[in-house]
Amino acid sequence: MVKETFLHEKHIALGAKMVDFAGWHMPVQYSTIVEEHNTVRNSVGLFDVSHMGEVFVSGNDALDFLQKLVPQDISKLNYEKAVYCQLPNKKGGLIDDLIIYKMGINYYLIICNASRVDDDVNWMSVNSSGYDVTIDNQSHNYSLLAIQGPKADELLRTMGLDTQQDSFTIKSAKILDYKILVSRTGYTGEDGYELLVKNEIAPVLWDRILEYGEPFGIKPIGLGARDTLRLEAALHLYGNDLDEDTTPVEAGLSWSFAKDKKEDYNGKSVIMEQLANGGRKKLIAIKMLDKNIARHGYAVFFNGEKAGIVTSGCISPVLGCNIALAYVKNTKDICTGTVVQVMIREKLHDAEVVKKPFVNKNNKIRN
C-alpha cells in the first residue's frame, strides 16, 4: 500500500508528476527539474518531505543508548542543537544516516530516511535491551516542510518567525499563529529551514508559505530537483551512496564524527581501524569532460582497469556540466585532478576527479 502525505492533494492540484518513492506517492516535479533547481539556488523553494521519519528517544539512559548507536559524540550535543549522524551496523556498514536533535534532558529527536524508518526502529529496539529508554516512532503524526534557498530566512521573517537561530539548531517557534518546530537544516546546500508540524497544520501552512513566498518567486519543488540540488552539494543519498556495505570512513564522512570518543559504539573497531589504515574503497566526486552523463551503477575505469562504480550522477544546472559521485578502490593514484573513465553505453568517457562539494552556497562558482 503506497502512502500519501497530508499534502498529497496539494501536489495533485498543482499538477505535479507523481512517483512512488520509498513507499510514498510523492511529487517528482511540478514544472521542470532545472527550473525548480534554479529557483532554490536563486530565491526560495518549498518541499514536502513528510515521508521522512521522526523518532523520539527518551528515558534515563537515552544519552548512553545513542552513544552506542552512532559514531558521533552525543554527550557534546547541546540543547536545541542538531548533529548529522550515521547509524552503523556491527561491521561499520551504514543502516541509515540521520539528524539527531537534543530536545531536552534525556530527550532526543531523530530524523531518518523514509525508506529506512522501519529498519532503524527495529535496529534501535534490538540495541535497547538493558537501557532505560523509550523509542517512540512518531512518523505518522508529523509532516515536514522544507523551505530552502537564499530567500528562505527573509520569507519566514515576513511570516512572523519569532526566533533567531543558527545553522543546525531547532527551536519551538511561531509562524503566523502556528506553534511549530523550526530547524535550520536542509538537503540542498543552501541556507534554509525545515518545519516539523503536526499533520493537520501541514496543508494550510503549505498554502500560506506559497502565498507569502510569491513576492520572492517561491515555487514548490519536487524530488527530482531535491536530488540534483543535494548532488551539487555532494550530500549523500542513502541507498545510492550509502548502504550496509559502506562505512562512514569509506563514504568520506570521517569529518563528521569524534575520533576520540571513549564510549564503544556499533562498528567502532572497523571504523577506527579504517580511520588509521584506510577503507576498502573511497568516495570521489567526478566531473564529466564531455556531454555524457554518468548514472547510478555505471562502471568507473582507471588505467584501463575497472576501478569502481558510479553511485549518483546527474547534470549540474549551476555548473553546466555533468557530475557524479563514485566509489573507487582506495588508492592514492586516484585523487583531485586525476582523469578516470566512466563506461557509458559500452564506451569509455573521461571524467576528472574534483573536490567536494561541486557547488558552494557562498560563491556558486564553477568548480
Q: Residues in the site for other proteins, rule: CB under 8 A?
A: 17, 28-29, 32-34, 224, 228, 291-293, 295, 314-315, 345
Residue 273: CB minimum distance to other proteins, A: 38
Helix (H) / strand (E) element for 225: namely helix 223-232
Q: Quick one: 33 or 155, whose CB is closer to other proteins?
A: 33
User: Cα-Cα-Cα-Cα dihedral of 356, 359, 363, 365, to 10°?
Assistant: 100
- The DSSP-derived string for 159-192 is TT------TTBEEEEEETTEEEEEE---SSSS-E
Q: Quick one: 253 or 326, whose CB is closer to other proteins?
A: 326
Q: Quick one: 272 or 309, whose CB is closer to other proteins?
A: 309
Q: Residue 333 in contact with residue 302, Cβ under 8 Å?
A: yes
Q: Quick one: 32 or 125, whose CB is closer to other proteins?
A: 32
Residues 6+ apart with CB under 8 A from 329: 280, 281, 282, 307, 308
Residue 150: CB minimum distance to other proteins, A: 22
Q: Quick one: 11 or 282, whose CB is closer to other proteins?
A: 11
| Pairing state between β 178-183 and 192-198 | antiparallel
Residue 5: CB minimum distance to other proteins, A: 21
Residue 29: CB minimum distance to other proteins, A: 6
Residue 21: CB minimum distance to other proteins, A: 12
Residue 217: CB minimum distance to other proteins, A: 19
Residues 6+ apart with CB under 8 A from 191: 148, 149, 150, 152, 153, 167, 184, 361
User: Cα-Cα-Cα-Cα dihedral of 294, 295, 301, 307, to 10°?
Assistant: 140
Q: Quick one: 175 or 223, whose CB is closer to other proteins?
A: 223
Q: Residue 313 in contact with residue 325, Cβ under 8 Å?
A: yes
How far is residue 308's CA from residue 326's CA, in Å, rounded to a whole number? 7
Q: Quick one: 314 or 328, whose CB is closer to other proteins?
A: 314
How far is residue 46's CA from residue 225's CA, in Å, rounded to a whole number? 11
| Pairing state between β 339-344 and 299-302 | antiparallel
Q: Quick one: 34 or 103, whose CB is closer to other proteins?
A: 34
CA angle 84, 45, 77 (to 5 degrees): 20
Q: Quick one: 121 or 231, whose CB is closer to other proteins?
A: 231
How far is residue 320's CA from residue 367's CA, in Å, rounded to a whole number? 10
Angle separating helix axes 117-127 and 62-69, nearest 10 degrees? 120
Instruction: Report phi then psi at 91, rounded to 5.
Output: -95, 5
